[in-house]
């Protein structure tokens, strides 16, 4: 029956990923808190989970023409150059620090998303009021 909880956590993370929000924001806490998986194992599982979802997203964005090819090589190169040392550091960090760092990251992302949502809501409210009709008197 434990496999069912893992499947449900994966399903929820997949749905969240499909919405454009990182699935790891759901998957890692679900694995560590609800399923008592170690922090490192949860983050490893999340990285494996990320590969197919990223591949599908990339194919979709290529199909839709959303990829700017001009900076793609630089972005890929620097992404790999940053990921390798970050991964080497992450495997040497104490799991408690890794957990706390991830919690801070999630908190920062939540605040960022809330602020972004409030700004969009404010913009929509401001633009919903129809501007008064003005007459051009310089004719």
Q: What span, in angstroms and rounded, lies between the C-alpha atoms of 73 and 67? A: 12
Which of 56, 44, 47 has its CA nearest to residue 23? 47
Q: Do 98 and 90 touch, CB atoms closer than 8 A? A: yes
CA 82 to chain centre: 18
Q: What does the pLDDT look like over 13-72, one tens digit per residue?
A: 777 766 666 677 778 888 888 888 888 888 888 878 777 777 887 788 889 888 888 888
Structure tokens at 107: 């908190």
Would the pTM count as exceeding 0.75?
no
Place of tokens 């004719």: 139
């Amino acid at each position: 029956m434990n496999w069912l909880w893992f499947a449900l956590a994966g399903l929820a993370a997949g749905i969240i990923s499909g919405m454009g929000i990182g699935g790891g924001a759901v998957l890692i806490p679900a694995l560590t808190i609800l399923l008592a998986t170690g922090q490192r194992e949860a983050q490893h599982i999340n990285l494996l989970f990320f590969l197919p979802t990223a591949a599908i997203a990339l194919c979709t964005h290529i199909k839709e023409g959303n990829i700017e090819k001009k900076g793609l090589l630089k972005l890929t190169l620097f992404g790999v150059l940053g990921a390798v040392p970050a991964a080497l550091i992450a495997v040497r960090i104490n799991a408690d620090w890794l957990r706390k760092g991830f919690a801070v990251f999630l908190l920062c992302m939540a605040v960022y998303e809330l602020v972004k949502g409030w700004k969009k809501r404010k913009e929509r409210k401001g633009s919903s009021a129809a501007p008064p009709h003005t007459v051009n008197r310089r004719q």
